[in-house]
Amino acid sequence: MLNGRSSKGFGKVVAPKKSLQQQVRKTFRQIRLGERKYGSRVLQEVSGIEKDQQAEDNRKTSSEKPDGIGANFQSSQGSDLPLARTDTDSSNRGSCLDSSELPSTDSAGNQEDYARLHQKHWQEIVAQSRVDGEIASLNFHSLSGHSPYEYLFYSEKIDRRNDGRVAEGTLKRYRHVENGGWWVDGIDLLTFEDGLWGQFKPDTPRQDSNGKTVKYESPLKVPTEIIALRVPARIWELIARRYDVALPEDYQSLPFGAFWQWVIQNPQIPVVIVEGAKKAASILSCGYVAVALPGVRNGYRQPKNEFGEKIGNPSLIPQLQVFAQSGRRIYLCFDSDSKRNTIRDVNDALAKTAKLFIKAGCEVGVMSWHPLLGKGVDDVIVSHGPEQFDAIYRATLSFSQWQTHQLKRLTYPVDLLLNQRYLGEFIPPNDKQLIGLKAPKGTGKTEWLAWFTDPVIRSGERKVLLITHRVQLSTQTANRLGIPYITESSEQGSLFGMGMCIDSLHPKSQARFNPEEWRGCWLIIDEVQQVIWHLLNSKTCQAERVSIIKTLKQLLLNIVNYGGKILIADADLNDISIDFIKGLLGFDIKPWIVENQYQFQQPWKVYRFGGDSPAPLVKMLEEKLKAGEKHLLCVSGQKAKSKWGSRNLEAYFAKKRPSLRILRIDSESVADPKHPAYGCTANINEVIKDYDLVIATPTIETGVSIEEKHFDGVWGIFQGVQATDSVRQHLSRYRLPVPRYLWVKSVGINRVGNGATTVKGLLAGEHKKDKANIQKLIHLGLEESVDGNFEPCCLQTWAKMGVLINLGMSHYLQQILEDLASEGHHILDARDLDDMPKENESEALKEDINQTCDEEYLEYREAVSAADSVDDSKYERLSRQQCKTQSEQLEFRKAELERRYNVPVTPDLVEKDEDGWYAQLRTHYYFGEGRQFLGDRDKNVFRTALVNGNGDYFKVDTNRKLISKEIDALDWLKFEELLAVDEITNFHPLAVEVFKKCKDPKNLYSLKLVLGIDFSKAKSPITVLQSLMGLIGYRFPFLRREGGRGKQIRVWGKAAAEFERCPISGRIILDANGKAIPISDHRDEVFKAWLERDAVAAEKAAAVIAAVKHEPTAIATEEVSNQHSTQVEEWLQPEAIQYTAELLEACDDSQKLFDLRKFIPAQALKAAVKFLSDEVKERIRQWVCWQNQPEFS
């Protein structure tokens, strides 16, 4: 026998400290009953008892200490332990049962093993939670009478009377524990001894001040700990076999703490963290390591001040910190609840715990299951057996996957649950006004919407308004609903309803949308997830985003307040969309939700192509087309520069097989009246019959359903541009279960905001940038009062959806494959196909693609350069024109470049612009020659946002456009000195200084926000400097190495945009002095044009101010009828006249001009017109003639 444990079995326990325990308990019982006073003499007495017993134990076992784990365990014990850890041995606390209450014998142990557990408690723990009998015996036991107090009232901080007895109020509050219950404790992971802390589950629980039942009682006024249960030898063996970890030689004789020492010393063993000791015991019984938290938030501690405010960062509790080892797998296994508030609270706690483990280098997984299997993991194991837990364990999600899954969840209760191929016919309750429809793609959402709205459309009882995010989707869905699209709606047609893009949902659009005209209508938002994201993030909505949001808000209010209905539909409908609608309404509205959980019986076979190029996929497609098959090719790019985009692939296949009938469907072809794809989405099933190969971009990712049998396969090339959900949408346009062939970039290239993968992180970035921008604008002289808290629900929704995209982009390929698998499709490796092309064939195809791309791109750039230049009037018309011929598209593209750069358009300029040259030049210009105009530029940008938003702005948009803080950051990093340096090394003082600034943890976050560069991974100063130079399109050229072998220093030269290079090797050519020879990229010509533009604008502004100051009387005597004189006087101030002139100069269409009349007095407009250029005056005169507006005459 070793240390009081029988050699006959690890789980057989005797009481080596029984006399010690009896003496200590007797002493504290006397204190509790008031027979003795609590004080220092009592503590000394107890300490003496402990020391005497410890000395006796050490004498008996000194010759028996084993090596390894056991030796370490023994060395951790000693008389210096705190009293709270030595006054009791929880494994030997006395039983309060008589023999008649003993449970029957279980196969896991003898009857005597259960002597401490009441029959009903044994039933609850062993039978109802499927806990191994021996684990139950070692850790759980029943208490009643006064004995629970000994487990709950050991803290010195408990209120006591002068004689040491616990205060009467406390005893009264806990009187219910005397009715009995069960207690659980385990091993203290800091000492590896029997722990003092545990939990008591009373048979008759009390209620707290809020009326909530307190199921478990913990020791009073003692910090919470985890419960690491005692583990019998045969469970230890099972765990060791599972993870292939060697057992200590004498493991059966070691104390119980040795098991946890063994786990901690072997980080390859995963640890499951659950809420509740019964669940931990149930998991341990299955042969997995598990520890229990008393509550989901008890795994970490958040420092707070006396006012309850958070101070400092959270940290894991010490008992969990021992598992926070690099490489350790931590599995979080909390209840699968169905209550929305509970889900959100648990998720928040889970995320905080997970991030703390991740920070320590652990791999965190989250175990989840359907609530129908059971709420707690012990329920699952009881109902479905350990095999079900094995399956859940194997299906554990990584933390990032879990985050994505949670944001995509629909936790609102489903009112109608279906599982059928088509939705069929059902009618929501008449009093329900917010109706959500979640159903897989191709199960008839649009058909149901058409059926449900048909009676009100035909009767004229209610108007029906359809809102989508794409023109093609709007036109097609509106046609299926029997209502006109906005461009074809007539006075009569709009009486029944209309379809429109959300871009047009504002008074200034061609729809002249007025929400008051749609009171009580039925609103349909199809593909609601994408509509909301388009509203909050698309460039096409940017100028009028605030106006659109305000109009949508008023529309929703008018619908609900006048008895209408809001119908939202999406295959991926989740809480985000519903929360957004409710947030705009500003009050709670209970949604009525239908969910169709149907999964297609004929899943796809998805063949995944690996590698860094889709060349093998394209080669296999080419061979299948040669064999006479017909295919649909989905791609993410369409620009002429994109090697694997629609234009280039069309040219490649046309060149390889001239007889092949090819249809290219992208945003340009469907809008070109002379192209075969024009308007094809309306009758796509008929159009495709004439083609062997259809190449489609995301133009058809929504609103198109190809259901006729035509294609033999669907192919996808996705380069990380589309959101992951959009990729699945794209692949599903063809409904038949033909094979899918897929190449996906491993990591996406588009990030939202600062790229954060948490809502809090994404919002923090926008708030911080906005605050800095506003402070800068005030410093520059902005006088307008601003409130950046416009519709908080919009920013919250933007962040939630943005995080989903960022998470998907971080694991792009993985996320797409997982989502496809979750839909029931089979993911296969394309290398297993018999007709997989050989490597040399793929390489040859890649060269052909490159050549074709070069030819196509050169032809396109030359065509743009050669296109006719257009005047402002035609440019405005083209910008508003949805349908453009190819020549008009080229003219419009050239017009954009002419107005952007103010220099002649060349093929080289076209290429530079598509490479991001404009952003680089803008930064360089305002850092250098154009610095004097930077303040006015940013003030005008912000003022325009306020004008368009009628006093409000969306901080995401202004944060993108304002650049003053970027220039400030470059000044702080001594960017001007870096530009001037002739030679630089990693040891140059300036390089070292800038490197230290960029790598300082205090600066990393701010620099990433402002400059968009993450310096955390930069390992050398030159890496940082090259990144900074990249902001303006410059680079330091490598010149030479200096020093002897092993001590060489690399030297770089003066930064420039480009340098002379060897035409063969591509290396930089050095002159006679060993310097790189810079080549001009002609940005100086652009800067010269911009300086002239800005100087003219500044002169005009100054002239306005000067003229107004010299003519105050003339302006002040203008008619002020029907105007408040105070308001007019404000607008007639010199600065206001200048501002008005700038607004008039910026007007690029007649509608914006006349929108100014709504808030600017006529007198101010007249005064401002005097200071405009003749060109702008003529443009305004034409617009005035059209509308006959007298204030401009």
**CB 991 within 8 Å of CB 1022:** yes
Each residue's pLDDT tens digit, 206-230 = 998 888 999 999 999 999 999 999 9
pLDDT range class, residue 405, cuts 50, 70, 90: confident
Q: What confidence score (pLDDT) does residue 12 get? A: 28
Cα maximum dimension of the chain: 111
Q: What confidence score (pLDDT) does residue 620 get? A: 98
**What distances in angstroms separate CA 82 from CA 17, 52, 156, 647, 859, one per listed residue?**
17, 16, 12, 76, 83
pLDDT for residue 21 is more than 90: no
**CB 966 within 8 Å of CB 1007:** no
pLDDT for residue 131 is more than 70: yes
771-777 long-range contacts (CB < 8 A, ≥24 apart) are 772/965, 772/1010, 773/942, 773/958, 773/959, 773/962, 773/964, 773/965, 776/938, 776/962, 776/964, 776/965, 776/968, 777/938, 777/939, 777/942, 777/962, 777/964
Percent of the chain with pLDDT over 90: 65
- The average pLDDT across 596-621 equals 92
- The average pLDDT across 1105-1132 equals 51
Distance, in Å, from the CA atom of 755 to the CA atom of 765, rounded to the nearest integer, reads 9
Give the pTM.
0.77
pLDDT for residue 246 is more than 90: yes
Backbone angles phi, psi at 524, to 5 degrees: -115, 120
pLDDT range class, residue 29, cuts 50, 70, 90: low
**3-class secondary structure per residue, 1114-1126:** HHHCCCCCCCCHH
**What distances in angstroms separate CA 868 from CA 706, 865, 874, 875, 1008, one per listed residue?**
39, 8, 11, 11, 42
Q: What confidence score (pLDDT) does residue 31 get? A: 52
Lowest mean per-residue pLDDT among 341-355, 602-616, 719-733, 1136-1150: 1136-1150
- The average pLDDT across 305-320 equals 86
Lowest mean per-residue pLDDT among 105-109, 169-173, 938-942: 105-109
Between helix 934-948 and helix 1134-1146 the angle, nearest 10°, is: 80
Q: What confidence score (pLDDT) does residue 997 get? A: 97
DSSP secondary structure string for all residues of 65-79: --STHHHHHHHT--T
Distance, in Å, from the CA atom of 799 to the CA atom of 831, rounded to the nearest integer, reads 39
Backbone angles phi, psi at 1184, to 5 degrees: -65, -40
Lowest mean per-residue pLDDT among 81-85, 715-719, 860-864, 1105-1109: 81-85
**CB 673 within 8 Å of CB 681:** no
Q: What confidence score (pLDDT) does residue 26 get? A: 56
Q: What confidence score (pLDDT) does residue 1151 get? A: 63
**What distances in angstroms separate CA 586 from CA 520, 557, 650, 794, one per listed residue?**
18, 9, 50, 12
CB atoms within 10 A of CB 541: 24
pLDDT for residue 609 is more than 70: yes
Identify any residues that bridge with 1003 across adjacent strands, giving them in sequence order: none
pLDDT range class, residue 1106, cuts 50, 70, 90: low
- The average pLDDT across 843-862 equals 96
Backbone angles phi, psi at 968, to 5 degrees: -60, -40
Residues 6+ apart with CB under 8 A from 811: 400, 401, 747
User: Which tokens belong to 528?
Assistant: 């609601």
Q: What confidence score (pLDDT) does residue 494 get? A: 66
Each residue's pLDDT tens digit, 665-684 = 999 999 999 999 998 888 89
Q: Which helix (H) or strand (E) holds 826?
A: strand 826-829
Domains, the chain, with CATH or none? 18-395 (no CATH), 421-596 (3.40.50.300), 605-747+811-858 (3.40.50.300), 867-915 (no CATH), 920-1079 (no CATH), 1084-1192 (no CATH)
User: Within 506-544, where are the H helices?
Assistant: 528-537
Q: Strands of 363-366's sheet, edge to edge?
A: 290-293, 271-275, 329-333, 363-366, 397-398
Between helix 615-626 and helix 646-656 the angle, nearest 10°, is: 40
User: Which tokens belong to 169?
Assistant: 């109020």
Distance, in Å, from the CA atom of 954 to the CA atom of 960, rounded to the nearest integer, reads 11
Identify any residues that bridge with 397 across adjacent strands, giving them in sequence order: 366
Between helix 18-32 and helix 40-61 the angle, nearest 10°, is: 170
Distance, in Å, from the CA atom of 668 to the CA atom of 696, rounded to the nearest integer, reads 11
Positive/negative CA dihedral, 530, 532, 537, 538: positive
Each residue's pLDDT tens digit, 624-653 = 999 999 999 999 999 999 999 999 999 999
- The average pLDDT across 936-952 equals 90
Backbone angles phi, psi at 740, to 5 degrees: -110, 135
Residues 6+ apart with CB under 8 A from 1072: none
CA angle 133, 138, 139 (to 5 degrees): 100
**CB 551 within 8 Å of CB 506:** yes
Q: What is the DSSP letter of 388?
A: H
**Amino acid at the residue 245:** V
Structure-token match 């496809």, residue found: 820
Distance, in Å, from the CA atom of 124 to the CA atom of 618, rounded to the nearest integer, reads 62
Q: What is the DSSP letter of 99?
A: G
pLDDT range class, residue 536, cuts 50, 70, 90: very high
pLDDT range class, residue 339, cuts 50, 70, 90: confident
DSSP secondary structure string for all residues of 855-892: HHHHHHHHHHHHSPP--HHHHHHHHH-S---HHHHHHH
Name the nearest CA neighbour of 788 among 811, 812, 809, 772: 772
pLDDT range class, residue 509, cuts 50, 70, 90: confident
pLDDT for residue 102 is more than 60: no
pLDDT for residue 850 is more than 50: yes
1044-1053 long-range contacts (CB < 8 A, ≥24 apart) are 1049/985, 1049/986, 1049/987, 1050/985, 1050/986, 1050/1022, 1051/983, 1051/984, 1051/985, 1052/983, 1052/984, 1052/985, 1052/1022, 1053/982, 1053/983
Query: What's the distance, Cα to Cα, between the start and end of the chain in Å?
Result: 109
**CB 901 within 8 Å of CB 1088:** no
Distance, in Å, from the CA atom of 692 to the CA atom of 10, rounded to the nearest integer, reads 73
**CB 636 within 8 Å of CB 698:** yes
Identify any residues that bridge with 501 across adjacent strands, giving them in sequence order: 468
Distance, in Å, from the CA atom of 281 to the CA atom of 272, rounded to the nearest integer, reads 11
Q: What confidence score (pLDDT) does residue 1110 get? A: 54
Whole-number mean pLDDT of the chain? 86
Q: pLDDT: is 595 or 1175 the higher one?
A: 595
- The average pLDDT across 456-470 equals 93
Each residue's pLDDT tens digit, 895-907 = 999 999 999 999 9
pLDDT range class, residue 701, cuts 50, 70, 90: confident
Q: What is the DSSP letter of 728?
A: H
Q: What confidence score (pLDDT) does residue 87 get? A: 35
Each residue's pLDDT tens digit, 814-828 = 999 988 988 889 999
What count of residues does the chain have? 1193
Distance, in Å, from the CA atom of 99 to the CA atom of 102, rounded to the nearest integer, reads 6
DSSP secondary structure string for all residues of 425-488: -----TT--EEEEE--TTS-HHHHHHHHHHHHHHHTSS-EEEEESSHHHHHHHHHHHT--BGGG
Q: What confidence score (pLDDT) does residue 490 get? A: 46
CA atoms within 13 A on the CB side of 1047: 2
Name the nearest CA neighbour of 461 among 434, 500, 430: 430
Between helix 792-810 and helix 399-408 the angle, nearest 10°, is: 140
Question: C-alpha dihedral over 939, 941, 943, 946, to 10 degrees?
Answer: -140
Backbone angles phi, psi at 919, to 5 degrees: -65, -40
